[in-house]
Structure 1
Amino acid sequence: MASISIRDSIRWLPEPASEPTSTVVLTSPERRFVDIRILKPTSNGEAAENEVELPTSRLDWAFAGCSTSEVHNGVRHSTWRHFVDNRSSGAEEVTDEGNMVTQDDGRTLETGRMVNPATGRETNYEEIWTDTEPMPIPERSEALSIPSRVSKARCIVLELKNNAQQERGMVICLGHYCQGVVRKGEEFTLERWQWVDGKWERQYRMGSLWLPCVEATHGAGIVLGSKVKHEESVWDVVEYGEL
Structure 2
Amino acid sequence: MAPNITVREYVRWLPERESEPTATLVLTSGENRFVDVRILKPQHGSTLDETNEDVLPSSRLEWAFAGTSATEIRHPQKGKAVVHSTWHHWVSSRTADAESVTDEGDMTPQGNGRILEQGSMVDPATGKVTEYEEMWADVEAVAVGHASEQDGDGLKVCVVLQLQDDEHQARGVVVRVGQFCQGVLRVGDHFCLERWEWKGKKEGGWKRLVRIGDLWVPCGVATEEGRLKVDGEVKFGQYVWKVVELSHF
Q: Which digits, 9 at most, give the CA deviation of each residue in 1:61-107, with x for residues without a partner?
A: 00000000001243210000011001010111111000100013431
Question: Which residue of structure 2 lines up, in the alignment, with residue 194 of structure 1?
Answer: 197
Map 1:71-220; keep pairs closer than 5 Å: 71-72=73-74, 73-139=80-146, 150-198=153-201, 199-220=205-226
Question: Which residue of structure 1 lines up, in the alignment, with residue 236 of structure 2?
Answer: 230
Which protein is richer in strand relative to its size?
1
Percent identity of the aligned residues? 49
Gaps of 5+ in 2: 75-79
Q: Distance in 2 between matches of 1:35 and 1:53?
A: 18
Q: Which digits, 9 at most, give the CA deviation of each residue in 1:19-40, with x for residues without a partner?
A: 0000000000000000000000
Task: Judge conservation of contact 1:56–1:206 (CA < 8 Å) in 2.
Answer: yes
Q: Distance in 1 between matches of 2:174 and 2:151?
A: 25
Task: Judge conservation of contact 1:159–1:235 (CA < 8 Å) in 2.
Answer: yes
User: Partner of 1:92: helix, strand, or coil?
Assistant: helix
Instruction: Provide TM-score, normalisation by structure 1.
Output: 0.93
Q: Distance in 1 between matches of 2:107 and 2:155?
A: 28
For residue 68 of structure 1, the aligned residue among 64, 67, 70 is 70
Task: Judge conservation of contact 1:139–1:150 (CA < 8 Å) in 2.
Answer: no
Q: Which digits, 9 at most, give the CA deviation of each residue in 1:4-59, with x for residues without a partner?
A: 01000000000000000000000000000000000001149xx9732111000000
Compute the displacement of 1:140 (Å).
Answer: 5.4
Q: Which digits, 9 at most, give the CA deviation of each residue in 1:131-176, with x for residues without a partner?
A: 11211013559xxxx9677421010000000000000000011100
Are 2:22 and 1:16 aligned?
Answer: no
AA aligned opposite 1:191: E
Which is further off, 159-168 or 191-200? 191-200
For residue 221 of structure 1, the aligned residue among 219, 227, 239 is 227
Instruction: Provide TM-score, normalisation by structure 2.
Output: 0.91
Compute the displacement of 1:185 (Å).
Answer: 0.3
AA aligned opposite 2:52: N
User: Partner of 2:111: helix, strand, or coil?
Assistant: coil
User: Partner of 1:103: helix, strand, or coil?
Assistant: strand
Which protein is richer in helix relative to its size?
2
Compute the displacement of 1:220 (Å).
Answer: 3.6
Alignment coverage as a number of residue pairs: 237
Which is further off, 103-112 or 161-170? 103-112
Task: Judge conservation of contact 1:137–1:153 (CA < 8 Å) in 2.
Answer: yes
Q: Distance in 2 between matches of 1:147 and 1:55?
A: 38
Q: Which digits, 9 at most, give the CA deviation of each residue in 1:163-197, with x for residues without a partner?
A: 00000000011100000000000000000000113
Task: Judge conservation of contact 1:138–1:150 (CA < 8 Å) in 2.
Answer: no
Question: Which residue of structure 2 lines up, in the alignment, with residue 30 of structure 1?
Answer: 31
Q: Distance in 2 between matches of 1:25 and 1:219?
A: 20
Question: Which residue of structure 2 lines up, in the alignment, with residue 239 of structure 1?
Answer: 245
Q: Distance in 1 between matches of 2:234 and 2:72?
A: 34
